Each structure stands twice: as structure tokens, then as C-alpha cells.
Amino acid sequence: PPTGLEETDSVTLTRFVLHEQRKHPESQGDLTLLLTSVQLACKVTDSCVRKAGIAKLYGLAGGGNVSGDLQQKLDVISNETFKVNIESSQKVAVMVSEEEELPIVVEKHNRGKYGIAFDPLDGSSNIDSNVTIGSIFSIFHLPDAENIQTTEDAARQIMQPGRKIVAAGYAMYGSATNLVLSFGNGVHGFTLDPSLGEFVLTHPNIRIPRRGKIYSVNEGNCKNWDKSVTQYIHSLKFPSEGKSPYSLRYIGSMVADVHRTLLYGGIFCYPADKKNPNGKLRLLYEGAPMAFLMEQAGGKASTGTENILDIQPHSIHQRTPVFMGSYEDVCDLESFCKSAS
């Protein structure tokens, strides 16, 4: 039974990251400091999301981002807090944000050896209705951070395949606030303890079930899907005799849909369609970091024909079709795509 002493020795995110760092004697603690600044950006965003209704932070900010999406006030605030906090860690030379057309090149005196790509507030269409939203990030080691001068140099250095990710994660602003991350040593989940203002380790070493019972996709787009995707989804709804059909869950916030998929298993899909030949989701700060977490948890992430982690990016905001989740479910989807080609 609980003794009441548990809280006196909780593993905070900072303590966890410091402990991990000790396994790499060559490390100078740069990643620890960088993650501390990401953690703070997530806490500030969380605090704004929680008080948005009262502080009148719902609604449009009056601008648009690179993709032509209307920016919400919370999109603008979270983008600013990510930029300011991460830059002040002095551990990055380049930042790529969903909300910024060009990569941000950090001034020389403030630079470090990492690059970071982030979607500061994902799931914008859910903001005003108080449905779960989140932040996503991926961190890369830059080959030659010191010599970056132009935004072209910056883009060239940060455009690395997901396999090269040093650390990736997401924060989820749901009924509780979670931060889930990996540095390539499994996936670990933390929950924000509001009374302490600290993320505490609650889900060590998350493993996704080999096969799930849930599929997650915006089925309203199915008239524009490839036949193989339509056939695959049909197979989940009309399984062979004796098997149960899959359940459908779709929130429309990638972070929330991926989080549920990680914990319960199943498959999350954002396929390409006739209108969006590369799907909707962005490679650098949506597809790749989530693919990294999926693989680290024993799952799989695919475009249908290629492992998402193997894609060499050619532009910082490029999109990718996404199918990720339980290993066997993603393999099934791939076999439908294969037999169609």
C-alpha cells in the first residue's frame, strides 16, 4: 500500500536526463541543458493552454503561417516560447518551426552544436474546443554548426533522416500533461505534477503491443485515398470469419492519437490522397520524431512503401504520408501497398 513517502523520491525529468547523461562520459551535459529548455517551453505552453479561456487566448491571432494555415493566438505564443527558451539554452545553432517559413539561424555567440525542429502547438483545429493538443520536437547533431551563415546552410545541415535523431519527444496537453521522449534508449513518459511544476517519471520504458485493436484515421477523406489504403481499412472493419473488427478512434490531434496508439497499440494513419499527394503531416517535426518514438517502443512507422526514418528530407517543411503503430499492423498495411504496386 502507498506509504506517502513515494513523492519524496520521485524521478523528475531533469534527474532522469542527468542519469542518462552519466552513461556517456564524453557528454558535456549539452543535451541535458537543451532538454531543460524544451521542458520549460512545454510548461509555459501548458500554462497558457490551461488558462486560455480565462485569459482570452482562444481564437485567431490575425496572421497566417507558411502552409497558409490561420494562426491561433496560442500558436503564436507557443512558437515564441519555444524559440526564446531554446535559443537561450545556447545549445542550438538552428531552429526549424512549423510556424516559420525559414530556419532560424542562432547568433554565433549563442550557438551550440545541435539543431532542433518543432511544431510548437500541434492540433490547432482542436484548440478552441478544449480538446487535447501537443508540442512535438526532434533534435539533431549538426555536422558543422560553427560555419552556418545563411538559412540555406542551416536547412542543409538540419535536413537529416529520422535515423539520425539524437532525441525526440512530445508534450501532450490533455486531461493531464505528459512529456514522452527518447534518446534512442527506449521511450519514457513523464507526467506534470502541477503542485511541483515538475515532470515526474510515470511511464518508464513504454512498449507498444505487437498488434492492436484500434485504427485511427480521418475517414472523411477516403474518397480521395489510394485503393490500397481503402482496401486495408476495409479489411479492419470486415475481418475474416471469427475475428473481431477494429475499433475506430480519431481525435484529429497527432500527439493525442499517437499517444493512445503507443499505449494501447493499433495504427495511426494520415495517408496521401488525390488532393495531398504527400499527405498532410510534416516530416521534420511531425512524422520523423513520432516514427523515432514508435520504433524505440517496438513499433513501426511507414509511408506505405518506405520506413519514415529512412527518408532524406529535401525541404524543411516537406510532408510525408504516415502509417505508424503496432509492428504487425503496420506490416499488414505495407503488404496491401506492396500488392497494389
The nearer residue to Mg ion, 87 or 119, going by C-beta atoms, is 119
Q: Is 317 in the site for ligand AHM (CB under 6 A)?
A: no
Catalytic residue among 13, 31, 74, 98: 98
Residues in contact with 86: Cβ distance below 8 Å, sequence separation at least 6, in sequence order: 34, 37, 38, 41, 92, 95, 116, 118
The nearer residue to ligand AHM, 112 or 299, going by C-beta atoms, is 299
Q: Which amino acid does the sequence have at 299?
A: G
Active-site residue, 310 included: no
The nearer residue to ligand AHM, 20 or 219, going by C-beta atoms, is 219
Q: What size, in residues, is the chain?
A: 341
The nearer residue to ligand AHM, 124 or 326, going by C-beta atoms, is 124
Strand duo 188-193 + 177-182: pairing = antiparallel
Which residue in the set 78, 81, 97, 124 belongs to the binding site for ligand AHM (CB under 6 A)? 124
Residue 324 DSSP SS3: strand
Per-residue x/- marks for ligand AHM, 51-90, CB under 6 A?
Answer: ------------------x---------------------
Task: Return the residues of window 113-142 that contact Mg ion according to CB under 5 A.
Answer: 119, 122
Residue 96 DSSP SS3: strand
Buried b (16+ CB within 10 A) or exposed e, 135-161: bbbbbbbbeebeebeeeebbbbbbbbb
The nearer residue to ligand AHM, 140 or 268, going by C-beta atoms, is 268
User: Contacts with Mg ion: how many residues (CB under 5 A)?
Assistant: 2
Catalytic residue among 35, 121, 179, 284: 121
Helices (H) and strands (E) in the chain, counts: 8, 15
Active-site residue, 99 included: yes
Q: Is 122 in the site for ligand AHM (CB under 6 A)?
A: yes
DSSP per-residue string spanning 20-80:
HHHT-TT--SHHHHHHHHHHHHHHHHHHHHHTTTTTT--SEEEEE-TTSPEEEHHHHHHHH
Q: Is 254 in the site for ligand AHM (CB under 6 A)?
A: yes
**Chain centroid, CA 153 distance in Å:** 25
For the annotated catalytic residues, the residue numbers are 69, 75, 98-99, 119, 121-122, 286
Residues at the site binding Mg ion, with contacts judged by CB under 5 A? 119, 122
Residues at the site binding ligand AHM, with contacts judged by CB under 6 A? 69, 98, 119, 122-125, 218, 252-254, 257, 270, 280
